[in-house]
Amino acid sequence: MKILITGATGFLGKRIVDLLKKEGEHELYALVRSESSASTSRKLGLQPILADLGDPLSLKKALEGIKLDSVIHLAAEIATQRNKQLLWKVNHEGTKNLFESVANLGLKRFIFASTVVVGEANGELLSEDKPLNVETEYGRTKQASEQMLLEAYKTKGFPAIILRPSHIYGPGGWFQDLIRDIKIGLFRIPGNGLNYWDVVYVDDVAAAFLKVLHSGKPGEIYHIVDDTPVTMQDFFNEAGTYLGKKKIGHAPVFIANLLKGKDPVRAATRSARNSNSKLKSLGWKPAYSDYKSGLKQTFLSAN
């Protein structure tokens, strides 16, 4: 299978690439913007395609002559980005440009990494058919892209599949920076920390992408969360035990807003409990079904 991956060298992308390489039956392409990124991609065993998501002409030209089977679109500005224009340019316009560049290639699947923005209702685990509860600009960019891709599926049969990972943690990436901040006493839990977090270990997310690549149904949405909802406070206090911290301190939300921005803080303090049963129906099962086992593996891997 010929697969194009955006964000292939990132926190999640590297894990997906590793799993695809283990299958040993794919030609893997990475969309990159620079020669240095191209060099990194080659070292990972990927064939780089030099183009910019913000430049539809460069995308179309770069993809000419490549008979792709599937696309895994991970590249995005993250939720902590405070530049709203950049969020929309990369997360929505970039997705639109990529979609238009591959719309007529006869793809089997176009897998889009969105985000869990459904929320919770009276303690019930919410399914993918519940209305989106979008409260941040990041969430709005993802929502707009979801709607665009699903409309293309309904009207043109474009094989879009939406994956909604929750808070992804594990060795490396943003979580490594967070561990550093906890260790030196810089991190504080915004608010009371009693909001529920959907979390999921990074390797389980990568496995979910492969499961959907092979078995996912176009036009569908799948949540990627572990089996055990946890409060933000309990999650970070558990992480703190590995760093000699008995209890993580708190910061008032208004102070956190001033330091980090309202949207990133809202993304962290919203409460969410979502169901993973639809993804499990494909045969996916998280190796780390709760935050305690996932955090244990995170710190074992870091040593």
Q: Which domain holds residue 150?
A: 2-169+198-227+273-287
pLDDT per position as a tens digit, 204-235: 999 999 999 999 999 999 999 999 999 999 99
In this structure, what is the dihedral angle of CA atoms 39, 43, 47, 53, given to the nearest 10 degrees?
-50
pLDDT per position as a tens digit, 69-108: 999 999 998 866 678 899 999 999 999 999 999 999 999 9
- With cut-offs at 50, 70 and 90, classify the pLDDT of residue 182: very high
Contact by Cβ (8 Å): 290, 238: no
Q: What is the CATH number of the domain that holds 153?
A: 3.40.50.720
Q: Is residue 174 part of a domain?
A: no
Q: Is residue 182 part of a domain?
A: no
Q: Is residue 260 part of a domain?
A: no
Domains: count for the chain: 1
List, in order, residues 6 or more apart from 237 with CB less than 8 Å away: 247, 248
* 160 beta partners: 110
Q: Is residue 134 part of a domain?
A: yes
Give me the pLDDT at residue 79, please: 65
Q: Is residue 248 part of a domain?
A: no
* Burial call 33-46: b when 16+ CB within 10 Å, e when fewer: beeebbebbeebeb
Instruction: Record the tokens describing residue 56, joined without a space.
Output: 């539809």
Q: Is residue 65 part of a domain?
A: yes
Q: Is the pLDDT of residue 302 over 80?
A: no
pLDDT per position as a tens digit, 251-274: 999 999 998 888 888 888 888 889
Contact by Cβ (8 Å): 72, 112: no
Give me the pLDDT at residue 122, please: 57
Q: Is residue 53 part of a domain?
A: yes
